[in-house]
């Protein structure tokens, strides 16, 4: 299979690259940061094609995909992993620029890559789109405002894609991870504040990126009659709180 992974330079994206390559597949690893991609490509010569790409730039997405070498063009699996959370402030104090960045990458970037890859999948009448949603798209939490809303978009867009793809053999899955450690997620969310990022995982046991890569590989390796619509995965030590009640 030929697999395109966005946000491939670290975290879940990089784990997905390692997993698919180790199962014998070819991976187009796309991310904004060239150095990490080069390192991945050097680790797997001929098996990983590094593509430096900001998914939030539609023109760049189209140029990059059109420029793929012919033997890399027939993508079988698209893993829309690029995304980020910024800030945990209540909506009334949140930074509008950060909201826009989340919309630009988590929503618009995912749309740009999907729209560019989908015609080929339909034409070949096979393939899989895996979108990285989040438990934050299903379960509200304070400060999750726009991040959670972008992930709710991802869930509904994934289901609506399935509706549009009815009658084709193209599959779509929304993968919704809970807390995942060992990534830059919280560091990015808290703008490089390492101590605050570390506290998110302190004294608990988050999922690791390989747990999500395992799920994605499992989804992709089901018989082609099987479509996993959504899969929600949390660490056993993360669950739900009671609804909040304001009292005098
Ligand atoms: C992130 C999941 O639980 O950190 O997508 O909000 S959580």
| 136 ligand 1 Cβ < 6 A | yes
Q: For residue 154, what is the DSSP state?
A: H
The pLDDT value recorded for residue 200 is 94
| 178 ligand 1 Cβ < 6 A | yes
Averaged pLDDT in 10-residue chunks for the chain of 248 residues: 97 98 98 91 96 97 98 98 97 98 98 98 98 98 98 98 98 98 94 95 97 98 98 98 95
| 110 ligand 1 Cβ < 6 A | no
| 134 ligand 1 Cβ < 6 A | yes
CB 53 within 8 A of CB 6: yes
The pLDDT value recorded for residue 34 is 80
Structural domains of the chain, ranges and CATH numbers in brackets: 2-233 (3.40.50.720)
Active site residue 147: yes
The pLDDT value recorded for residue 33 is 85
Which of 151, 140, 32 is closest to 85 using CA atoms? 151
Question: Among 44, 112, 141, 147, which one carries the catalytic annotation?
Answer: 147
Report d(CA 134, CA 136) in Å as an integer: 5
What is the distance in A from the centroid of ligand 1 to the CA of 196? 15
* Atom 5 of ligand 1, nearest CA residue: 134
CB 91 within 8 A of CB 145: yes
Residues 6 or more apart in contact with residue 2 via CB below 8 angstroms: 25, 26, 27, 28, 72, 74, 75, 76, 77
pTM listed for this prediction: 0.97
Ligand 1 atom closest to the Cα of residue 200 is 4
């Amino acid at each position: 299979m030929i697999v395109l992974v966005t946000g491939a330079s670290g975290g879940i994206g990089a784990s997905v690259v390692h997993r698919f390559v180790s199962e014998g597949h070819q991976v187009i690893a796309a991310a904004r940061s060239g150095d990490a991609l080069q390192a991945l490509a050097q680790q797997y010569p001929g098996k990983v094609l590094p593509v430096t790409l900001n998914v939030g730039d539609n023109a760049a997405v189209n140029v990059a995909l059109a420029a793929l070498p012919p033997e890399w063009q027939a993508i079988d699996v698209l893993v829309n992993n690029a995304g980020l959370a910024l800030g945990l402030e209540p909506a009334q104090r949140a930074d509008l620029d950060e909201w826009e960045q989340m919309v630009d990458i988590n929503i618009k970037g995912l749309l740009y890559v999907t729209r560019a890859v989908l015609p080929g999948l339909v034409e070949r009448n096979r393939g899989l789109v895996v979108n990285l949603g989040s438990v934050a798209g299903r379960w509200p939490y304070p400060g999750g405002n726009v991040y959670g809303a972008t992930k709710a978009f991802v869930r509904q867009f994934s289901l609506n894609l399935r509706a549009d793809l009815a009658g084709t053999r193209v599959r779509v899955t929304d993968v919704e991870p809970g807390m995942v450690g060992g990534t830059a997620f919280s560091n990015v969310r808290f703008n490089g504040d390492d101590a605050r990022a570390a506290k998110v995982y302190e004294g608990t046991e988050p999922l690791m990126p390989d747990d999500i890569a395992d799920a994605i590989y499992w989804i992709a390796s089901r018989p082609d009659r099987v479509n996993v619509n959504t899969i929600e995965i949390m660490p056993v030590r993360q669950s739900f709180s009671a609804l909040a009640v304001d009292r005098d």
